[in-house]
Amino acid sequence: MKSFCVLGLFLISTLPFLPFNPYTVTPPGTTRLNDSLFVDICELSVSDWNEYSFWLKRMYGEDSDEYKACFPDSIVWRKSIYEQVAKSYFKHPAYYNFPIVGITYEQAVAYCEWRSIQVNYMLYARQNKLAYSLKDDTVGIPQIYKYRLPSKQEWEVIASLGFSKKTLKQIEMSYNPNIYNLIYPRHQGENATNAINLNTTAKVNSFWTNLIGCYHIFGNVAEMTDTKGLAKGGAWLHNAYEVTVDRDFYYKGSQDWVGVRCVCEKVMKSEKEIARDSLRQAKLERKFQRDSIKQEKLLQKQERKRGDDSDEDDD
């Protein structure tokens, strides 16, 4: 029960206390990209996945298909030189803050759906001062936010933001020339299989944040998009020179270099927001009507002037 309480605290830890309005919060774990879209600050971690699997175990039981379906594939590490990592990556506390890998596209989509249910329920419970309890659906609960995998275009917008001036200055003053968890030029000629002391995954909140505060947009693990088999951003086993905003990386099944960063879309507006948008739209329509009338009067004036000029020419 203690672990379940930790889950609840994690999900609401970033929410403001008073006054509370579920339509104005930044969804847990994210940073704002625009008025309707938020993006995870970090790639999903082993700890995040443990919370998810714990919930499924409590809700459906240890022998349930739902619980067994969430298991990551530890075999992915055995495909490389990291045999020892395979034994502890998903179990040892030392790796809890490292990115989750070894999961499939279908597992990532299922996680997003679960996370959406829990966050919307948490917001509803808090707004209505209800106690949080196990719940596997959101019937009757407003679905304000939806977590999902980003589209390729959305990811590229996020990746194009770059660093803030402050971060660029910190990077310049840093003794570490590596700004992403990638293989850098000094290691050219060395592939992933002989770079054991150079690269593997790093903590999800390490290295430098981009302009809106996201870690590891490039490097660490490539990030799934909503197109199955297509990931972006490169990973710990890729050379820095080959990882760009527009570069696509393709994968099949589960891999030791592919992870997940969710985006969160605001899919429902409050009555106040709807009224505000309606008022804004009405103002735009009135402005359009006024501009149309002005344009029509101008055209009429020009037409009359051309008529007067024509009469003078006839005289």
**CA–CA distance, 194 with 56 (Å, rounded to integer):** 39
Residues 6+ positions from 61 with CB-CB distance below 8 Å: 67
Work out the average pLDDT over 286-307. 76
Q: Are residues 275 and 292 in the same domain?
A: yes
Residue with tokens 């302009």: 211
Angle between helices 46-60 and 2-12 (to 10 degrees): 130
User: Is pLDDT at 314 greater than 70 in this prediction?
Assistant: no
Q: Are residues 230 and 277 in the same domain?
A: no
Q: Which domain holds residue 291?
A: 271-315
**CA–CA distance, 176 with 207 (Å, rounded to integer):** 10
The side-by-side arrangement of strands in the sheet containing 145-148 is: 30-32, 37-40, 263-266, 145-148
Total number of domains in the chain:
2
More confident residue, 25 or 307: 25
Q: Are residues 237 and 285 in the same domain?
A: no
What are 55's two structure tokens? 């919930």
User: Is pLDDT at 284 greater than 90 in this prediction?
Assistant: no
**Which of 230, 227, 224, 229 shows the shortest CA–CA distance to 260?**
224
Whether the model pTM is above 0.85: no
Q: Are residues 206 and 99 in the same domain?
A: yes
Q: Are residues 259 and 307 in the same domain?
A: no
pLDDT of residue 191: 44
Instruction: Choose the most confident range, by mean pLDDT, from 5-9, 169-173, 296-300.
Output: 169-173
More confident residue, 82 or 36: 36
Q: Are residues 11 and 34 in the same domain?
A: yes
Q: Are residues 136 and 32 in the same domain?
A: yes
User: Residue 103's pLDDT band (boundaries 50, 70, 90)?
Assistant: very high
Q: Are residues 275 and 256 in the same domain?
A: no
Q: Are residues 182 and 311 in the same domain?
A: no
**CA–CA distance, 313 with 306 (Å, rounded to integer):** 11
CATH of the domain at 185: 3.90.1580
Q: Are residues 72 and 94 in the same domain?
A: yes
Work out the average pLDDT over 279-286. 66
